[in-house]
Amino acid sequence: MSKTRIPGSNPSVPSLGDMACVRTRSHHEQNRPDRRKRGDGLAEPHSSLLTSVRPILLTLASGLLYGLAFPPHRITVVAWLALAPLLLALRETSWRGAVGLGWLWSMLAAWSVGEWMPAAVETYYLQSRAIGYGVFLVVATLMVAPYHIGFALAYRGLAKHWRSALPLLAAAAWIGAELLRGRLFTGTPFFIGNPWALLGYSQAGVLPMLQVADLAGVYGVSFPIAALNAGLVEAWLAIRGRGLPRRPLAVALGAAALPSLLVWGYGIHALSGTAQPEPAGPTARVAVIQGNVDVGAFWSPERYGQNLGLYLELTREAQSRAQPDIVVWPESAATFFLEEEPGYRLQIARALTESGAELLLGAPRAAANSRPPYFNSVYLLAPNGRVSARYDKQLLVPFAEYFPFGGIEFLRRRFGRVREFTAGPANAALPTGVGPAGVLICNEAMLPEVASQRVEVGATWLVSPSNDTWVPSADFAELQFDIVALRAIEQRRFLIRASTSGPSAIVDPFGRIRARSQPFTPAVVEGEIRALDGRTLYSRVGDLFAVGCLAVAMLSLASRASRSDRRHAQG
């Protein structure tokens, strides 16, 4: 259709009809979804159901994959991509959505590596399974979720402002969250560090990946895994046409892969034998006794002295076969007050006389006053049954070994008098004939800073007596062992683990398992260890690497946020 110009009108001025068209077009353009590609990969808002559900599905997939990397499946390679769906989901959601996804991932990941908890609560506290599920929900929400929610928010902020460096910064933020989860509340009245199933522990058995622990602890193992996960997200977004341009993408992928290559190379070098720990004495024979007997959910007179016969029988068996220099019994192996029972000590001495071995054993201790506090102790006995030294556990588990809220009855076990403990004082390593021994009772061995403290005061080998019969799960037992075994690499010390129900094991300074038992069976584990001297970098500087990661992530967020604020102010 031809247009007729009104005489005298100015052709450069639009007509009323043209203006209406312009207004209508502008209105549609403003309300049409913006489909322009964004270099940061953050999604524009959409209203479709699929778009809103997709981040949830990705988060669920991530949580399930995370669990596959740990016992019982142990598909260690899965850890290298398990976080990627979560990171992608965080790129497609709002700030409020990131909080929800962080909580959801925490619940699913915690369940995938801790489904044993409700049954353990039922056994340990003598409560219903329903209470056990409630305890799991509370523990995961308070001790896991806050740190992953913080990471979710940090990652979304970093992705909004950073490009090629994002994989390294995302890994730094992840390490910061792991550090806070593992250490923030350790030693406080109500909580203790919760390093259960940190990302780096998924690589148990992959010895080249684990050797970096003598420099940076478990966080040095987690970092390259997190960085590669973040790099996979950048590659996926680029394939989908929503990612970085070619050159920044190449830099980002190189940054994501470099930590893995460095860690692997360091591990190969460490395992080559060119740098061996300095010996501080000759080799010694060790026998670890695993009784696999229940010490009871509560203290009762009927159990006083129970199980001693089984431990003596297994000790005699080890004596006749291996002639050990030292025998190790687990935590709570003795259900009696050792210092008050010379008759029991005499029986023990008779079992040790054949080889003249010393004995480390766990037993309760009562202080000498009218209303004694009780201690969870490990004793060193000479071959004649005399008490040579003692260690009292220092870091107790809230609501298990002591009760911050004593008035809440359902949180208390029926301990009677001897299962609610008092924290012991700091002391030196136990002076065994093998060399000074650093004792890590049960959960203390999960805390790497405690192992460093033991080495600092002179420990030349580490021993971890543990009571695990209250958790009826082989998955728990295997993952707990993986966590404890890394202490040997961090400190470059031999480590002995003596568990009531297993696995009990001898681990060398490079994380190699020299001997071990299977869970839930009586066993004797035999092998050789050696007192070692010197201190690793990790033993000296602790979690400096992880603290640095946390600082870098926070500074990166703050610097970009301040620049963005200045740009908006100028605009």
Residue 6 DSSP symbol: P
Query: Catalytic residue numbers?
Result: 331, 393, 442
Is residue 236 packed enough to be buried (19+ CB in 10 Å), middle (13-18) or exposed (0-12)?
A: middle
Q: State both tokens at 253.
A: 């992928």
Distance of CA 556 to the CA centre of its chain: 25
d(CA 503, CA 220): 26
Instruction: Say if residue 407's pLDDT is above 80.
Output: no
Q: State the pLDDT at residue 186.
A: 83
Q: State both tokens at 381.
A: 């006995």
Q: What is the mean pLDDT of the chain?
A: 87
Distances (CA, A) of 375 to 70, 151, 341, 367, 398: 33, 38, 17, 8, 14
Q: State the pLDDT at residue 373.
A: 86
Query: Which of 363, 361, 387, 359 is closest to 375 using CA atoms?
Result: 363
Q: State the pLDDT at residue 214.
A: 98
Taking residues 136-150, report their average pLDDT. 95
Q: State the pLDDT at residue 191.
A: 73
Taking residues 476-492, report their average pLDDT. 98
Distances (CA, A) of 266 to 208, 212, 262, 367, 448: 7, 7, 6, 49, 21
What are the domain boundaries of the chain? 49-112+146-273+545-570, 280-533
Those residues whose C-beta lies under 8 Å from the C-beta of residue 4, and which sit 6 or more positions away, are none
CATH topology of domain 280-533: Nitrilase/N-carbamoyl-D-aminoacid amidohydrolase (3.60.110)
Tens of pLDDT, residues 250-268: 999 999 999 999 999 999 9
- Report the percent of the chain where pLDDT is more than 90: 70
Pick the residue with more confidence: 195 or 13?
195
Tens of pLDDT, residues 324-379: 999 999 999 998 999 999 999 999 999 998 779 999 999 999 887 656 789 999 99
Sign of the Cα torsion 396, 401, 402, 403 reads positive
What single string gives the DSSP state of each residue in 371-414? S--EEEEEEEE-TTS-EEEEEE--SPPBTTTB-TTTT-GGGS--
